[in-house]
Amino acid sequence: MRRIGVFICWCGANIAGTVDIEKVVEESKKIPGVAYAGEYRYMCSEIGQDMIRDTIIEQNLDRVVVAACSPRMHEPTFRRAAESAGLNPYLVQMANIREHCSWVHKDEEEATRKAVALVRTAVAKASRSVELFSQEIPVERRALVLGGGIAGIQAALDIADAGYEVDLVEKSPTIGGRMAQLDKTFPTLDCSACILTPKMVDASSHPNINLFTWSEVEQVEGYVGNFTVTIRKKARFVDEEKCTGCGDCFEKCPSKVDSEFDEGLVQRKAIYVPFPQAVPNVPVIDKENCRWFVKEKCRVCEKVCEAEAVDLEQEDELLEKRYGAVVVATGFDVLGLEEFGEFNYGKHPDIITSLEFERLVNASGPTGGKLLRPSNQEPPRNVVFVQCVGSRDKSRGKPYCSKICCMYTAKHTVLLKEKYPQSQAYVFYIDVRTGGKDFEEFHRRAVEENDAIYLRGQVGKVFPEGDKLLVEGVDSLSGKTVQIEADMVVLAAAMVPRTDAPEIARLLTLGTDAHSFFTEAHPKLRPVETHSAGVFLAGACQGPKDIPEAVAQASGSASKALGILSKETLLSDPCVSKVDESLCTGCLMCIDVCPYHAITEKTIEEKVHGEVVKRVVAEVNEAVCQGCGACSVACRPGAMNVKGFSNEQILAEVDAVCL
Amino acid sequence: MSVAREEHNFEPLIVAFCCNWCSYAGGDLAGTSRMSYPPNARVIRVPCSSRVSPNFILRAFQRGADGVLVAGCHPGDCHYITGNYHARRRLSILRRFLGFMGVEPERFEVHWISASEGGKFAEVMTEMPEKIRALGPNRKLRDAR
């Protein structure tokens, strides 16, 4: 007979307010196998945990049930308490009488009855639980950082500074990301390049950081501590070792296309460096637009390169690397505005997005920082800024707030006034949100010192008239319609994840929300972790955020990654699949359903009637198996089982529920 | 079973298999959000909806459950990548099989409830007992006891 101890938590009034604790204790004592039942006000507190430990020893308990909150909350806590009494931690089961009972039911009698049933179910599971042991798995003490924007750079620097090697993989030809495109940063008006480029150089010159620009992750296998990642280093067609960065090649290149870095406001060549401060400062040939690759004529770049660095025969390289931890910092895109016909975006050069404005006002941008109208290269006088284009818009855009637009628009009005004191900024807004250190003060400055006119309302229509743009909107505070003759219209388009975010999520088995932002393991208490152990999030790939938040999150994820890298071994979760070889018929149906390729076939030798016979059975790699249990259901002879969620345990739970 | 089983005061008993990552967490969120729903269902936590064997469901009906619910992550969002696709295929066949055996397939529901859908969890927990109540107690598969 088992000696099961049941510990019932009041959780203050959270449980005791709806559930009759005394009654649950009394009923628990009647369950066969229960040797002890007790209660305490806060089981998770030190006193509560001590009570569990001492009672296990005094009462000689062999299984423990804690009826308290969700096991997702405190299962590790109570497992540790049991372990301190010398009991195997996997002999502890929890009954969730808070989230699934006291908090959702109002009637005390009903809630108490359900609590007793939940305890009975947990006791049934506990009585069939067995000792489980974690395995030690070695840790590959290197990190991968995906994305070379400010978040990725920060994470890589933090990990590298702690003494571990980092590979920083960036899809585009240079690191720097979105921040490199910006002019000034709110609310201090620090020049973005002045604070970013030194960090880019730090990252490229750090002895522990290997940069892989113009590279993409193609495949990820493995698990925390032991990821194997295939990186595609796309052909650059320029030898990074030989190139001196002189720029002769793109001077002479005859093919022109819209520059991604300048948001299409100007053109770049087919062989190009996105911007002069790019790291590495090595050009790349864009195959789709290069005359040689399209028409097999040209090779001008090759001819002019004195260093003989241009190599048109270069091919993509596939590198296989191993890592212990991964930081994902893939950043954001700007929402496409095809759905927003009223703004006529794309139909007139003076109707631009905020990111394009950022380039126009930037000293290294298309107008050399003069901020001129793209249509006629004249200074603008009236500029209309439209907020929440696609943000907070359930019907056509995204329901969320993009968070940074209120502040960068305030910044834009300040920059506009700085350049052209005679100019006038108009801002159409829904609400102005300035949560952040010094943010509200900055916004007030835009309104009070720079006379930006803030109009609460939406813009109905923007259309060209003569060489001006007519903006028709509503000022909802006065109830009047407003018509503004503008020289430029700037649209604060919503922040969205990179288009390949779903693909990254698939590779790393990350969760995403409805908008493809990666989801963190817990919105409050585990904001940088994901449900894939060993994979962490930084920056706007997790949700809209500004630079300081992205940097803080990057340092957070770096410290989480370091938590793994600083260990030589990790303990694996023992709740994984297990084969009973005596039952396995070798049908190998389990291999097909396993998403982790954790099951392989193996040949065993058996003695049957004195003869040695060979047969094939399935074998689980416990370090790779994540314990989903798909194989256990696919298994016809019932040879496959999941430790911690075994068939016997679940059937016992079913029986106990239906008792 | 302490839920009243008398015909005139029939309270259905529902066994709910919830995956640890989405639906169980959705249930936790319903709790932390203090949503209210009737206490007919008892949740059994499983790692993934693909862990739920048809065997467990039939056992529940045999032992007298009036309804069985399996809840997992939304298709495409499985914590174990493809688990819920396996579950979807297996369980849709099981549902037909139940009908073939003479058990109302409506007694068996599958829902995709994410960790952020506390509201949906509460909704399913509220609506399912109502539907089962209309069907009456499960007699077809229940062990003669």
Using one digit for the tens of pLDDT, what is the confidence trace for A282-300? 999 999 999 999 999 999 9
- Judge whether B112 lies within some domain: yes
Q: What percent of chain A has pLDDT over 70?
A: 100
A341 and A230 within one domain: no
C-alpha A490: how far from its chain's center? 29
Task: Give residues 408 to 447 of A whose Cβ lies within 8 Å of B.
Answer: none
- Give the gap in angstroms from C-alpha A627 to the nearest C-alpha of chain B: 7
A211 — pLDDT class (breaks 50, 70, 90): very high
- Judge whether B45 lies within some domain: yes
Average pLDDT over residues A456-471: 95
* B13 or A626: which leads in pLDDT: B13
A171 and A54 within one domain: no
- Give the gap in angstroms from C-alpha B29 to the nearest C-alpha of chain A: 7
Domain count, chain B: 1
A597 interface with B at CB cutoff 8 Å = no
- The average confidence (pLDDT) of chain A is 95
B48 interface with A at CB cutoff 8 Å = yes
Q: What is the 3-state secondary structure (H, E, C) of A396-456?
A: CCCCCCCCCHHHHHHHHHHHHHHHCCCCEEEEEECCCCCCCCCHHHHHHHHHHCCCCEEEE
A117 interface with B at CB cutoff 8 Å = yes
pLDDT of B4 > 60? The answer is no
pLDDT for the residue numbered B3: 47
B47 interface with A at CB cutoff 8 Å = yes
- Judge whether B140 lies within some domain: no
Q: Which of A446, A465, A496 is the last residue of a domain?
A: A496
pLDDT of B7 > 60? The answer is no
pLDDT for the residue numbered A267: 95
- A541-574 pLDDT tens trace: 999 999 999 999 999 999 999 999 999 999 888 9
- Judge whether A133 lies within some domain: no
- A101-117 pLDDT tens trace: 999 999 999 999 999 99
A486 and A363 within one domain: yes
- A270-280 pLDDT tens trace: 999 999 999 99
A323 and A181 within one domain: yes
Nearest residue in B to A106, CA atom: B36
- Judge whether B131 lies within some domain: yes
pLDDT for the residue numbered B145: 57
Q: Do B15 and A113 touch (CB under 8 A)?
A: no
A chain contacts of residue B125, beta-carbon cutoff 8 Å? 104
Domain coverage including residue B56: 16-135
- Judge whether A465 lies within some domain: yes
pLDDT of A526 > 50? The answer is yes
Q: Which of A101, A126, A151 is the last residue of a domain?
A: A126
A chain contacts of residue B31, beta-carbon cutoff 8 Å? 70, 98-100, 103-104
- Judge whether B7 lies within some domain: no
A173 and A284 within one domain: no
Domain coverage including residue A77: 4-126
B144 — pLDDT class (breaks 50, 70, 90): low
| C-alpha to C-alpha distance for A638 and A614, rounded to whole angstroms | 21
Of B49, B51, B15, B2, the C-alpha closest to B138 is B15
Beta-strand (E) ranges in A224-328? 226-233, 256-258, 267-269, 271-272, 284-285, 317-323, 325-328
CATH label of the domain that carries residue A445: 3.50.50.60
pLDDT of A619 > 50? The answer is yes
Q: Which of B13, B50, B60 sits opposite A630 (nearest CB)?
A: B50
A76 interface with B at CB cutoff 8 Å = no
pLDDT for the residue numbered A528: 96
A448 and A407 within one domain: yes
pLDDT for the residue numbered B8: 63
- Give the gap in angstroms from C-alpha A9 to the nearest C-alpha of chain B: 16
A326 and A211 within one domain: yes
- Give the gap in angstroms from C-alpha B37 to the nearest C-alpha of chain A: 6
Pair of tokens at residue A74:
């405190």
Q: Do B81 and A509 touch (CB under 8 A)?
A: yes
- B75-134 pLDDT tens trace: 877 888 889 999 999 999 999 999 999 999 999 999 999 887 899 999 999 999 999 999
A454 and A428 within one domain: yes
Q: Do B47 and A642 touch (CB under 8 A)?
A: yes
Q: Do B2 and A113 touch (CB under 8 A)?
A: yes
- Judge whether B144 lies within some domain: no
| C-alpha to C-alpha distance for A335 and A544, rounded to whole angstroms | 12
A389 and A459 within one domain: yes
Nearest residue in A to B28, CA atom: A99
B chain contacts of residue A71, beta-carbon cutoff 8 Å? 45
A143 — pLDDT class (breaks 50, 70, 90): very high
Q: Do B42 and A118 touch (CB under 8 A)?
A: yes
- Judge whether B115 lies within some domain: yes
B59 interface with A at CB cutoff 8 Å = yes
- Give the gap in angstroms from C-alpha A378 to the nearest C-alpha of chain B: 50
- B22-43 pLDDT tens trace: 899 999 989 999 999 999 999 9
A586 and A628 within one domain: yes
B9 — pLDDT class (breaks 50, 70, 90): confident
A65 — pLDDT class (breaks 50, 70, 90): very high
- Judge whether A240 lies within some domain: no
- Judge whether B8 lies within some domain: no
Q: Do A70 and B1 touch (CB under 8 A)?
A: no
Neighbour-count burial for A106-138, b at 16+ CB within 10 Å, e otherwise: eeeebbbbbbbbbbbbbbbbbbbbeebeeeebe
A411 and A456 within one domain: yes
Tally C-beta pairs within 8 A across A and B: 147
Q: Which of A106, A511, A595 sits opposite B36 (nearest CB)?
A: A106
pLDDT for the residue numbered A622: 87
- Give the gap in angstroms from C-alpha B134 to the nearest C-alpha of chain A: 20
A632 interface with B at CB cutoff 8 Å = yes
Q: Which of A470, A496, A522 is the last residue of a domain?
A: A496
Domain count, chain A: 5
Task: Give residues 75 to 104 of B whose Cβ lies within 8 Å of A.
Answer: 77, 79-83, 86, 90
A485 and A339 within one domain: yes
Cβ atoms A489, A351 nearer than 8 A: yes
- Judge whether A473 lies within some domain: yes
What sign results for the dihedral spanned by CA atoms A571, A575, A576, A577?
positive
CATH label of the domain that carries residue A114: 3.40.50
